[in-house]
Structure 1
Amino acid sequence: MTKTVLFAGSSGNIPRAAIAALDGKGFRIKAGIRDIAQGKALFDRLEDVEVVELNIEKPETVEAALDGVDYLYFATLLAVPGEFEKTYVDAAIKAGTVKHIVHSTGSTATVPDVFPRCSEFIFEREAHARESGIAWTITRPCMFMQNLSSMQAASIRDDGYWIEPIDADAEIAYVDARDVGQCVASIFQSPETHAGKIYTITGPEVITSAKMAEILSGVLGRDIAYNPITAEEWTTQNWGDVDVSVGENWLFEVLRENYVGFSQGAEGRNILNANVKQITGTAARDFRTFAGDHLQAWK
């Protein structure tokens, strides 16, 4: 019997990769998104995908999107206010058909002594799925390689460097969001195997910002530099529309906590694992592969 899976926030890197991996695998896929036109542009080429409006500010769209759904995916985002996770879980319970939830959060919850604020936030959000009575799996990805091809892309492309409040030699187990999406797709293909499990998702190696700059220089054929700043010097630089400018701002303080922990190596060898290969059967992409696949972001 064909299973129906709903991806909330389907314009994100993880759900886009998961949807592409599941397309043609016998699923009916609902790509939930606020902007239908954007969704059609993203998914119209895929045969098994139906783009549906999903906007928590319009409760009727949440209920309609979950109609007949067997599996549900959503992710927690620090920059998004409100407990939207509870909205999804409550709607899934009300729908009565949802048999499995995959919730993506963050690897900082794996090291709560270093990241107390962020971990507390994640634990609270994860609890909605864990206490729902519906089978669940939680993925906790590490820092995304895609940060360099999105938030930092303009600086790398135009100025030949990027700036972050992370020590140049701090090791981080960066992960390609495409691999996290592949993990989500694999979980939905065998949900019973992964029920009740929490997976920290990392790349296949730890890598420093200095080494990433060296790799980018090689693949782009020009010098790319990394210029670290301290957490105290950090303001809104390189964060676009995310308001982290006020010291009393909760998001600012959580991100500062994260950067201090990253510089201490708290997202490095201590969390490095092979969960991508264990879940999908294929090894995670390393940063050199990622850089080669994303050249256009920096050209």
Structure 2
Amino acid sequence: MRVLVTGASGNVGRFVANELLLLGEDVVVAGTSKQKLTELFGNDVEAVTLDFTRPDTFKDATENIDRVFLMRPPHLGKAKDMYPFIDHLSERSLQLVVFLSLMGVSRNPFPPHYRIEKYIEQKHLPYTHVRPGFFMQNISGVHAKEIKEQNKVCIPAGNSETSFIDARDIGLAIAKILHQPEKHHDKAYTLTGKEALTYHQVADILSNVTGKKINYEKPSMLAYRKYYIEERQLDPTYVTVTMMLYLMTRLGTAKAVTADFSELTGKEPTSFKQFALDHVAAFK
């Protein structure tokens, strides 16, 4: 049987798919653009069209699938947007559904991940919730523009600490879970890096790696929202979700460090300094 990887062109999905291939799994990658998926993976996988807002794409995407990596696309801000596909999965005989959730979400009902977790459980699907900390790729992705062009980190997290994790590590851990599904039924894992950093420390590491002075300016929530919607022209729903996450970060929900990654993979998580070195081009 085969493993379906949703969001396969995204930060985590592509790493999940590649790690599964290394484990010898038969992988089906899913997304709204088959062309993009084919360009990314070539002939190593089967690419299928899957749009969570189009139930007519569900049947073909899940043909001969027995395990699923499930993630919520950033542009779908409401948990109920995912319910029709979860309903479809509940009608199939699956070994495991691994849902990409959020660190601390079991105590935070505001992000959509909380309700999606609960809905998966209500449908009696065999599940594993993977709850990572903040992706290091957020720094080299959406926030890299300000670092590169203005020498500043523009994130409203105050002086809070965050145990960042590399999406490559998340992909590896999820692949290990999907490869041995019987070991991980009805469990939840919190994946973090090996240290918690403030964004002041992040800016210092980036300064050392790039050779230029990068500052963390601690914008207010309102200034952050205004900038990313009006100046960067990002989707307001996406910006609102990130604001909720940074608000919770200010309350200390993102600073815990766990051993779950090492226990799942037998490896040490990537440090932020190593990540910055690997992605220095994104910041220069």
TM-score (normalised: structure 1): 0.87
Are positions 1:260 and 2:247 aligned together?
yes
Q: Report the equivalent of 1:33.
A: 31
Task: Name the counterpart of 2:66.
Answer: 70
Once the 2 structures are TM-superposed, how far is the Cα of residue 184 of structure 1 from its aligned partner?
0.7
Q: Percent identity?
A: 26
Deviation sequence 1:200-256 (CA, Å, 0-9, x none) = 111111011111111111111111111111224332424645333xxxx7963x543
CA RMSD between the two structures: 2.1
Matched, 1:237 2:227: yes
Cα pair 2:228 2:234 within 8 Å, conserved:
no
Give deviations 1:169-219, integer Å, cap 9, x for gaps.
321111111111111100011111111101111111101111111111111
Higher relative helix content: 2
Shift of 1:131: 2.3
Q: Which runs of 5+ in 1 are unaligned?
A: none
> Kindly tell me: are residues 100 and 211 of structure 1, through their superposed partners in 2, closer, same or farther at Cα, counting changes over 3 Å?
same
* 1:117 maps onto 2:115 in alignment: no
What TM-score does the superposition give when structure 2 sets the normalisation length? 0.91
1:1-299 superposed matches below 5 A: 3-44=1-42, 47=44, 49-77=45-73, 79-82=75-78, 83-94=80-91, 96-112=92-108, 116-118=109-111, 121-167=112-158, 169-238=159-228, 240-244=232-236, 252=240, 254-268=241-255, 271-299=256-284
Whole-angstrom distance in 2 between the partners of 1:74 and 1:125: 10
Task: Measure the CA separation in 1 of the matches of 2:106 and 2:121.
Answer: 16
Q: In structure 2, how many angstroms separate the alpha carbons of the residues matched to 1:236 and 1:67?
A: 44
Runs of 4+ off more than 4 Å: none
Query: What SS does structure 2 have at the residue aligned with 1:138?
Result: strand
Letter in 2 for 1:26: G
Q: Distance in 2 between matches of 1:31 and 1:85?
A: 18
**In structure 2, distance between residues paired with 1:24 and 1:64:** 25
Q: Gapped runs of 5+ residues in structure 2? A: none
